[in-house]
Amino acid sequence: MIETLTHLDTAVFLFFNGMHAPWADFLFYWASNILIWVPLYLFFIFWLIKKYKKQCWIILPLLILVIVCTDQSCNFLKRTVQRPRPSHTETLAEKIHLVENPDGTLYYGGQYGFPSGHAANSIAFAWMVVFFFGKRRKWLIVAAVFWSLLLCYSRIYLGVHYPGDILCGLILGSCWSLGAVFLYFKVLKKRVFKEEK
């Protein structure tokens, strides 16, 4: 069963990784770069403060806690499971497409890739955006999820994650984020702030 899933995971990875073009190399390399999205994160924080005012001093630490927990749980699982990334798998060396760094070297990522930290962190952030701002903005739900999935696909395109790494990252990040949202709306908001009448 495990062997069958591994073969399927590899086959799906090679299919999507094989669809590459020079313009897409540039696009997905930078889409995968966390720093490129800093303005987006700062805008979200500004929007959060503007909308929730004093409540944001509970929501912001909660958001930070979610990202830290998501990131560190990914790192823990990577060290525990120790599944090599496709880019570090010798049997795939001649089959996969890798992208160059600005200095001309190939981008390989770290040694281990299960689960994907990019997938976990991005979906955790996306769900926070959805639950705190998406109630009356249906377009925002689509945009937030699309953004996360774009980052996820970029990791497969760059050759550093299998689809299975991505899927498990999405599940992990969703669990942390949904847990935090439940904690805020069902516990913290009712106890710390009076419900709006």
Return the structure tokens found at 76.
């823990």
Backbone angle region of 6, left / alpha / beta, with phi > 0 → left and psi within -120 to 50 → alpha = alpha
pLDDT one-digit tens code per residue, 51-100: 888 888 888 999 999 999 999 999 999 999 999 999 999 999 999 999 99
Q: Where are the domains of the chain?
A: 2-192
Whole-number Å distance between alpha carbons of 148 and 18? 21
- pLDDT higher than 60, residue 194: no
Residue with tokens 């999405």, as numbered in its chain: 170
Whole-number Å distance between alpha carbons of 66 and 23? 34
Return the structure tokens found at 156.
């497969």
Greatest extent of the chain over all pairs of C-alpha atoms, in Å: 63
Lowest mean pLDDT: which of 14-28, 46-60, 161-175?
46-60
- pLDDT higher than 80, residue 190: no
pTM of the model: 0.91
Residue 84 β-bridge partners: 112
Return the structure tokens found at 56.
């944001």
Q: Which of 92, 56, 73, 91 is nearest to 179 (CA)?
A: 73
Binning pLDDT at 50, 70 and 90, where does residue 197 land?
Answer: very low
Whole-number Å distance between alpha carbons of 20 and 41? 29
- pLDDT higher than 80, residue 191: no
Residue 98 confidence (pLDDT): 97
Mean pLDDT of 113-129: 96
Distances (CA, A) of 148 to 20, 28, 103, 128, 139: 20, 13, 27, 12, 14
Share of the chain above pLDDT 70, in %: 95
- pLDDT higher than 60, residue 189: yes
